[in-house]
A and B are shown apart, each in its own frame.
Chain A
Amino acid sequence: MATASATSVFPLRKGATAAWRHIDLALLASAVAIAGLGVLMVFSATESKLREQGLDPHMYLKRQSVWVLLGLAVMAVAVTVDYRVLRDIAPMLFIGAFFLLVLVLSPLGSSTRGAQAWFQFGSFQLEPSEWAKLALIACVAAYCSTHRGDLDGRRLATVLGLAGAPMALIYLQPDLGTDLVFAAILIGVLVVAGARPRHIAALCLIAIVGMVAVVQLGVLKQYQVDRLTAFANPTNDPQHSAYNLAQAKAAIGSGGLFGKGLFKGTQTNLSFVPEQQTDFIFTVVGEELGFVGAFTLLALFAVVVWRTWRTATLARDLFGTLLCVGILAMFVFQIFENVGMTMGIMPITGIPLPFMSYGGSSTVANFAAIGLVLNVHMRRFA
């Protein structure tokens, strides 16, 4: 490879400094651009509601800005330490995340909208499941890379057992959406790590059967079933589940080609779309910035995904590749599920749109993930 010969120009002892020269600016820039747009959209979605409640209209703007800055700081840390250290400490991270997931179910955790998923620190919230995603990626990548692409049935079962424990805890919160992200990560990493095709097929089948069973057997609460099935049956019950969807589609559709203009969305300003600054943030982009704005956002996401995929192909070891693949699977699934749900082609689940949705834990965790990809990218020769 052309780049490989270029590295030999630099002496090995200068490795640390040399690594910074290989930072992936395109990935960094697009992630920061999306986060910037996210801050603006969160502001637009919340400004009129806060004003109406007599609160500081800049409250969410300020908080989300803080999260982005904090995220950038965490990202810087994630880039600095060689990602291979992560392989060694992955079991400890995983155990730590598992411990927090247990703790959040205890009276120490807080619940919002029926899910016990948070630790409340004053006015700030910590959502351990966001961090558990990264811990899972690191742990599964580490395990699979030590067995170098040879995943027989026994090892596969080990991976599944490993992932199953935190998924069960998250299911108890209950947070079905995050479990689905876990499943996506697992399948992504296993595919690339070399699981047997028939195992993958069986896994997908189990996932589908499991989903159907969960919906059919009444394991879920009715509102969860309603939300999941609303996209397939949008005229049913317009005031509740399907209402969210109908209003989301009306917001995006009414934006048209060029949008209604920043801060000018009627669906947005008059609070027709519920949970708009979090799960339905894409509707603000669609309504106010139109097809042009929404396309641009998806293009930026595509750049992030492409650079992550590229880093996976360039990584110097299988751990780096699998780390990137896990992160890629996490982003792609969240983007597709979240944007798809606002447009009515995916079921409604509470999954945030990376870098866009309001929320500290997810924003910081996503930047940490970008940090890891940058880390793998710039240490691809060292």
Chain B
Amino acid sequence: MPLESPRLRLGIVAIVVVSLFAALLARLWYLQVLAAPQYRTQANVNRVRTIYTEAPRGRILDRQGRVLVDNRVSDAVVVSREELGSRRAEVVPRLAEVLKMQASDVQKRLDDKRYSPFKPIPVATDVPKETIIYLREHQSDYPGVGGVQLTERYYPYGSLGAHLLGWVGEINGGELATFKKKGYKEGDSIGKSGIEKVYEDDLRGKPQIERLEVDSKGRVLGSLGTTPAVQGHDVQLTLDLDVQKLAEDSLQQGLAAARGSYDKQQAKHFIAPAGSVVVQDPRDGSILALASNPTYDPSVFVNGIKPELFAQLNDPASGYPLNDRAIQGQYAPGSTFKLITSLAALGHGMIDTKYTVDDGGKIKIGNRIFKNAGGEANGRVNITRALTVSSDVFFYTLGNQFWLQRSQFGDAMQDEARQLGMGKKTGIALPFEAAGRIPDPDTRKKLHDQNPKAFPNGQWFAGDNVNLAIGQGEMVVTPLQLVNAYATFANGGTVWVPRVGAAVQDQVGTKLRDIPPQAVRKLVLPPEVRDPIMQGLQGVATDPRGTAVGAFAGFPFQTFPIAGKTGTAQAGNKQDTSLFVAFGPTTDPQYTVGVVMEEAGFGASAAAPVARRILESLAGKPTHPVNYAGGGPD
């Protein structure tokens, strides 16, 4: 056939047409048979919108069941963007006026990407009932505007226990990435600190899940079913509301008293910017109070904190009120460390009660002269006496002896400190706990070898041991570690993980789970070790020459005998850190109280009166305002 033949050319047309139809059929087979499941899912995703509404969180209770963190219902004005539609520009300014808000703030809320477009957005909370009624009566002027009741966090006692309880905020990108598997969604709340963070899984409820059928324009056609919300579980703490309040008030008064006193060394008033108090039950490690000052009001975080307020809370000028100094503050323990030095010396048999040192107010070790803090001479003292009067010379001598006999006793003071839980997080169920630091010759050498520039001094000298023996130098502890160590001594040797959560229960009070006390280890404290130390510590508050005798004048020792130790720690160029740790009653210790106050002077003057007020109240006596006490260095 010639090329010009229409028949041949029609044949070509036929081939083209058959190919095109074959291509359509092949594609159709792919879409509807091979890839059908995938497209079926896509079609379903298209038409179903799932709306999550967070459940109310569980409450946080004190040991007696009193509610520390609650939920409350707030009347809120919500706006449905879908219903508002094109009238937005006209309605928003009018609505803002009624709500006494800036129109731009209302706009900002409406543009908040955290909210599902199918979910009405809360633009104002705690709106007066009359306003909501007004809006309802004028519904045609306010399309899409409605009133609902929102559940939000409520703090019946204001800032009480704020650091320990923590706050709740909107989940951030990092948290979302970590917790996506647990079903968190953008815009969800999550515990950010304190108990709210640690017991998040218990406190958080199960969200309400509603499946809506929508059309292509996103209009809701109906509900395909709702799974109701389940409120989170309540967490009961070991904390005692009364003791917490007592601790916070006493600390506040103590800091104020310190600020009103004159520092002769630095020739100015004490700054006393911050402090903390720990009250623990030494029998099982339960925390009764954990106070940190300055503090903050957790209710500012409800419904999202204002950025300027958050900036203020993180401004150095405000003294970092969000920091929980009881577990995050790290301080040189000063003379309160003498308990550890004593335990090391007696426990290793380096000395006994017959061992004495003639305290002439100073001692020469190597080429250096070490003096008592106040320069006074205490005469010949044994370990009991040395604790009571806080003889530095006695403990300088022990520090030196440990160095001289290192081949026999090793780093006995450091070992003792580690045994008591220092230099390592205690494991309390609170976030961001600090570990403290225990210096020793090996660590120092290692640091120097790794980075000679940052650590120019790689050698350990006798003087380092001497300083460590009285809790100075590089040694730092958190107030909680210090109190926990004294609690261990008080209870006869059990190191507890400080316990703050007691139980998890449901809304009607049925216990779901106990959070039992947890022992880390048991130390052996034979009477020949414990008794002389106990006697020395009791003398601190009762002996006429005890360092805290002034602060404890008139204390009911007959019914509530106590033992304690003052500490005054140097902190570089700053004013001294004031420390006091005590426990009582010594016959059967039930409370360990520790007070640490920054830039507040002698332990006997600032911290001891605060501890006294707390112990006096725990002893069942009426309390008196805290005054700055007399007394000297230790």
Contact = CB atoms under 8 A, between A and B. Distances in A.
Q: Which of B28, B31, B36, B39: most chain A CB closer than 10 A?
A: B31
Interface in A234-258: 246-247, 249-257
Contacts of B443: none
A336 B216 contact: no
Main secondary structure of the interface of A (DSSP, over half): helix
Interface in B13-49: 13-14, 16-17, 20-21, 23-25, 27-29, 31-33, 35-36, 38-40, 42-44, 46-47
Contacts of B38: 253
Contacts of B25: 295, 298
Given A192-B13, A249-B31, A270-B215, A313 B24 contact: no
A197 interface: yes
Q: Which of B13, B17, B29, B32: most chain A CB closer than 10 A?
A: B32
Given A247-B46, A270-B47, A271-B215, A256 B17 contact: no
B217 interface: yes
A309 B33 contact: no
Q: Which of B21, B217, B221: most chain A CB closer than 10 A?
A: B21
A257 B32 contact: yes
B20 A291 contact: no
Nearest to A258: B32
A93 B35 CA distance: 48
Given A252-B32, A271-B217, A345 B23 contact: yes
Interface stretch (B3-11, B73-81, B300-308, B329-337): B3-11
Contacts of A301: 21
A191 interface: yes
Nearest to B31: A253
Interface in A149-190: 149, 188
B20 to A, nearest CB: 5
Contacts of B3: 197
A191 B46 contact: no
B27 to A, nearest CB: 5
Interface string A219-246: 0000000000000000000000000001
Contact of A253 (B9, B39, B47): B39
Q: Which of A149, A250, A253, A287: most chain B CB closer than 10 A?
A: A253
B12 interface: yes
B214 interface: yes
Nearest to A318: B6
A28 B445 CA distance: 101
B36 A343 contact: no
Q: Which of A192, A193, A247, A286: most chain B CB closer than 10 A?
A: A192
Range class of the B interface residue count: 35 or more
B459 to A, nearest CB: 65
Contact of B46 (A188, A250, A294, A343): A250
A312 B221 contact: no
A194 interface: yes
B282 to A, nearest CB: 64
A253 B24 contact: no
Nearest to A195: B9
Nearest to B35: A253
A281 interface: no
Contact of B216 (A271, A291, A295, A332): A271
A272 B214 CA distance: 10
Contacts of B217: 271
Q: Which of A193, A249, A250, A312: most chain B CB closer than 10 A?
A: A250
Contact of A325 (B13, B43, B213): B13
Nearest to B17: A332
A302 interface: yes
B21 A328 contact: no
A122 to B, nearest CB: 29
A305 B31 contact: no
Contacts of A36: none
B28 A266 contact: no
B44 to A, nearest CB: 8
A251 B43 contact: yes
Contacts of A329: 13
A362 interface: no
A340 interface: yes
Given A250-B42, A340-B24, A313 B10 contact: yes
Interface in A280-334: 286-287, 290-291, 294-295, 298, 301-302, 305, 309, 312-313, 318, 321, 325, 328-329, 332
A336 B13 contact: no
A336 B24 contact: yes
A267 interface: yes
A339 interface: yes
Nearest to B7: A313
Nearest to A324: B10
B17 A328 contact: yes
Given A266-B47, A267-B43, A270-B214, A309 B32 contact: no
B39 A254 contact: yes
Contacts of A246: 42
A198 B6 CA distance: 17
B159 to A, nearest CB: 48
Nearest to B14: A309
Contact of B21 (A191, A257, A287, A298): A298
Contacts of A249: 31, 39
Contacts of B27: 340, 343-345
A336 B25 CA distance: 11
Contacts of B13: 188, 191-192, 309, 325, 328-329
Nearest to B11: A313
A256 B29 CA distance: 9
Given A250-B39, A253-B39, A257-B36, A291 B28 contact: yes
Contacts of A287: 43
Given A254-B43, A267-B46, A312 B10 contact: yes
B36 A298 contact: no
Interface in B223-251: none
A272 B47 CA distance: 9
A344 B35 CA distance: 13
Q: Which of B4, B13, B25: most chain A CB closer than 10 A?
A: B13
Contacts of A291: 28-29, 32-33
A50 to B, nearest CB: 14
A74 B95 CA distance: 61
A13 B534 CA distance: 139
Contacts of A313: 7, 10
Contact of A256 (B23, B40, B42, B216): B40
Given A253-B40, A270-B215, A194 B4 contact: yes
Contact of A255 (B4, B21, B32): B32
Nearest to A273: B216
B31 A332 contact: no
Contacts of B16: 332
Contacts of A197: 3
A313 B11 CA distance: 9
A271 B42 CA distance: 15
Contacts of A332: 16-17, 20
Contacts of A253: 31-32, 35-36, 38-40, 42-43
- Identify the 5 closest CB pairs spanning chains A and B, nearest first: A253-B39, A254-B43, A291-B32, A270-B215, A256-B36
Given A249-B39, A271-B215, 19 more contacts: A191-B12, A249-B31, A250-B39, A254-B43, A255-B32, A257-B32, A270-B46, A274-B216, A295-B25, A298-B25, A298-B28, A302-B21, A309-B13, A313-B7, A321-B10, A328-B17, A336-B21, A336-B24, A339-B24
Interface of B: 3-4, 6-7, 9-10, 12-14, 16-17, 20-21, 23-25, 27-29, 31-33, 35-36, 38-40, 42-44, 46-47, 213-217, 221
11 contacts: A149-B4, A191-B13, A197-B3, A246-B42, A253-B42, A254-B43, A254-B44, A273-B216, A290-B32, A312-B10, A336-B23
